[in-house]
Amino acid sequence: MSYKLPGPKTLGVLERGIPLFRNGLRYEQDRQQAEQRGHRSGSQIVISRAKGDFIWDMDDNRFIDFQNGWATNPVGNAHPEVIEAVHKAHQQYGFHYDHPLRYELAEKLLPTMPHPSLNRFNYEVSGTEAAESAIHLALTHTKRRYIIVFSSAFHGESLAGKVLSGFQTRDTYMEAWNGGVIRAPYPYSEQIPAGMSREQYVDYCLWYLEHQIPNSVASKKNIAGVIVEPGLAEGGNWIPSVEFLQGIRRICDKHDWLMIADEVLTGLGRTGKMWAVEHYQVKPDILVVGKNLSGGIEPCAGIAARDDILGANNDFASGSTFAGTPAGCAAGLKTLELYERYNLVENAAYLGRVASNFMTPWEEKYEIVSQVRSNGLLIGVNFRSPDPNMDDWWFSRSVRSRMLANGVWAISDRENTIRLYPALNMNESVLREGLQIMEEAIDYVNRHGSIEGNSPAWPTGVAGF
Pairing mode, if any, of strands 286-289 and 301-306? antiparallel
Is 319 a domain residue? yes
My answer on whether 176 and 314 are in the same domain is yes
- Per cent of the chain over pLDDT 70 is 92
Q: Who wins on pLDDT, 152 or 165?
A: 152
Rounded-to-integer distance, Cα 206 and Cα 222, Å:
19
pLDDT at 399: 94
Taken in order 300, 306, 307, 310, is the CA torsion positive or negative? negative
Per-residue pLDDT for 60 more than 60? yes
Pairing mode, if any, of strands 54-57 and 47-51? antiparallel
Is 463 a domain residue? no
My answer on whether 277 and 190 are in the same domain is yes
User: Hey, what amino acid is at 36?
Assistant: Q
The residue from 299, 320, 342 where one domain ends is 342
My answer on whether 348 and 423 are in the same domain is yes
Whole-angstrom CA distances from 229 to 198, 275, 460 are 18, 11, 31
My answer on whether 285 and 363 are in the same domain is no
pLDDT tens digit sequence for 126-149: 999 999 999 999 999 999 999 999
Lowest mean pLDDT among 39-53, 165-179, 302-316, 413-427: 165-179
- Interior/surface letters 397-424, b for 16+ CB within 10 angstroms, e for the rest: bbbbbbbbbbbbbbbbeebbbbbbbbbb
Per-residue pLDDT for 388 more than 90? no
Residue 297's pLDDT band, with cuts at 50, 70 and 90, is: very high
Mean pLDDT of 419-437: 98
Q: Who wins on pLDDT, 286 or 11?
A: 286
Contact in structure between 166 and 149 (CB atoms under 8 Å): yes
My answer on whether 121 and 51 are in the same domain is no
My answer on whether 159 and 299 are in the same domain is yes
Is 325 a domain residue? yes
What does pTM read for this prediction? 0.92
Mean pLDDT of 358-381: 97
The residue from 314, 342, 370 where one domain ends is 342
- Per cent of the chain over pLDDT 90 is 72
Lowest mean pLDDT among 75-84, 360-369, 453-462: 453-462
My answer on whether 29 and 154 are in the same domain is no
For residue 38, the domain's CATH number is 3.90.1150.10
Is 464 a domain residue? no
Residue 419's pLDDT band, with cuts at 50, 70 and 90, is: very high
pLDDT at 333: 98
pLDDT at 168: 57
Cα atoms in the 13 Å half-sphere on the side-chain side of 219: 4
Lowest mean pLDDT among 156-160, 213-217, 257-261, 375-379: 156-160
pLDDT at 387: 87
Mean pLDDT of the chain: 90
Q: What is the domain range of residue 436?
A: 8-66+344-447
pLDDT at 235: 81
Per-residue pLDDT for 457 more than 70? no
My answer on whether 375 and 303 are in the same domain is no
Per-residue pLDDT for 454 more than 70? no
Q: Where are the alpha helices (DSSP H) in 236-383?
A: 242-255, 307-310, 326-342, 344-359, 362-365
My answer on whether 88 and 187 are in the same domain is yes
User: Hey, what amino acid is at 433?
Assistant: E
Number of domains in the chain: 2
DSSP state of 3: -
**Across the strands, what pairs with 369?**
383
Rounded-to-integer distance, Cα 376 and Cα 237, Å:
11
Contact in structure between 324 and 130 (CB atoms under 8 Å): no
Q: Who wins on pLDDT, 168 or 66?
A: 66
User: Hey, what amino acid is at 134?
Assistant: A
Rounded-to-integer distance, Cα 29 and Cα 12, Å:
17
Mean pLDDT of 381-385: 94
Q: What is the largest CA-CA distance in the chain?
A: 68
For residue 250, the domain's CATH number is 3.40.640.10
pLDDT tens digit sequence for 102-129: 999 999 999 999 999 999 999 999 999 9
My answer on whether 326 and 352 are in the same domain is no
Question: Which segments within 1-61 are labelled E, that is strand?
Answer: 47-51, 54-57
**Across the strands, what pairs with 147?**
181, 225
Per-residue pLDDT for 163 more than 80? no
pLDDT at 460: 35
Per-residue pLDDT for 78 more than 60? yes
Q: Who wins on pLDDT, 367 or 26?
A: 367
Per-residue pLDDT for 233 more than 90? no
My answer on whether 103 and 247 are in the same domain is yes
Contact in structure between 27 and 463 (CB atoms under 8 Å): yes
